[in-house]
Structure 1
Amino acid sequence: MAAPLIEESIEINATAEEVWAVISDLKRMGEWSPQCKKMILRGEPVGMGTKSININRRGVLVWPTTSKIIRFAPNKELGFRVAENKTVWSYTIAPTASGVTVTERREVANGTTKISSFLVDKFMGGTTNFEAELKLGMAETLGKIKRAAESSAARAA
């Protein structure tokens, strides 16, 4: 059974607006995520209800998913639901004394689909291993977002 919540956070020395500029540029998701290699947006600008086709990769496995933005609060939160497994992925931005904290979450409120559970069990090493890999992937993603946002902040200074 999928964990209802997996999350990872990072401190970023940049403004919420600078971080939002990175996070909300979903076409660049392939630069940040070790698994989601590309998001093809269906409609711009990005906003509530924007849909995407996503190309995911893990080793030799490649698979498409589709998603829809269900949370959109500029400079605060961006979240999308993946149709195929009912997971919600989100990024929240919270101000701190020296910048912001960004939290990436994967939420599975009512469990994933049967096909998703089957595929994770048979092809992704089982739920425990796959979710540990997702958490490590979140840390990697957030580290890359941090570098991009802080680089942008340094250029603006």
Structure 2
Amino acid sequence: MAEPLLQEQIEINAPVAKVWALISDFKRMPQWSPQCRLMKPLGPLRQGTKTVNLNRRNFLFWPTTSTIVEVIPERKLAFRVDANNTIWSYELEPTETGTRVIESRHAENGVKPVSNLTVHTLFGGVPNFERELVDGMKTTLARIKAAAES
């Protein structure tokens, strides 16, 4: 069973506007995420816009779609992965030295049974896959930090 919340955060020495510009440009997601190979929005950055995505783990590739569920400029961006109903979000908070970014994967209502079966069959089970997701969050945030601070 999926954990209800996976979360990581990082402090970035850059203004919120600069960090927001990086995070809200979904076409750049493959630069940040070790799992994402493509994230193409099918319209402007607003609630209801769909994205087409391609993910990778080792030699396994799989497509997904997602729907943007929340956009609060320079504060929060969230999208729901349609295949499993998880919601991924980025929350930005100004700090004295820049920006705190919190990346979360929300599964408070669980995930679709087919998703659990797929994760069990192809990814070594839910706990193993979720550890990989948290490691991926750490990598994603570190890459965003490096880009924002350069």
Which residue number corresponds to residue 80 of structure 1? 79
Which residue number corresponds to residue 53 of structure 2? 54
Q: How many residues align?
A: 150
Matched, 1:102 2:101: yes
Cα distance in 1 for residues equivalent to 2:15 and 2:47 = 22
- Identity over aligned pairs, percent: 51
For normalisation by structure 2, the TM-score amounts to 0.98
Unmatched segments (≥5 aa) in structure 2: none
Matched, 1:37 2:37: yes
Cα distance in 1 for residues equivalent to 2:134 and 2:35 = 12
Cα distance in 1 for residues equivalent to 2:76 and 2:146 = 19
For normalisation by structure 1, the TM-score amounts to 0.94
Cα distance in 1 for residues equivalent to 2:125 and 2:37 = 22
* 1:48 positional shift: 1.8
Cα distance in 1 for residues equivalent to 2:40 and 2:96 = 35
Which residue number corresponds to residue 6 of structure 2? 6
Matches within 5 A, 1:57-136: 57-136=56-135
SS of the residue 1:111 aligns to: coil
Deviations 1:54-100 (A, max 9, x none): 00000111111100110100100000001100000000001111111
Deviations 1:16-43 (A, max 9, x none): 1000000000001011101111111101
Point out 4+ residue stretches in structure 1 off by more than 4 angstroms: none
Cα distance in 2 for residues equivalent to 1:138 and 1:87 = 15
Cα distance in 2 for residues equivalent to 1:148 and 1:87 = 27
* 1:13 positional shift: 0.3
Letter in 2 for 1:23: I
Letter in 2 for 1:17: A
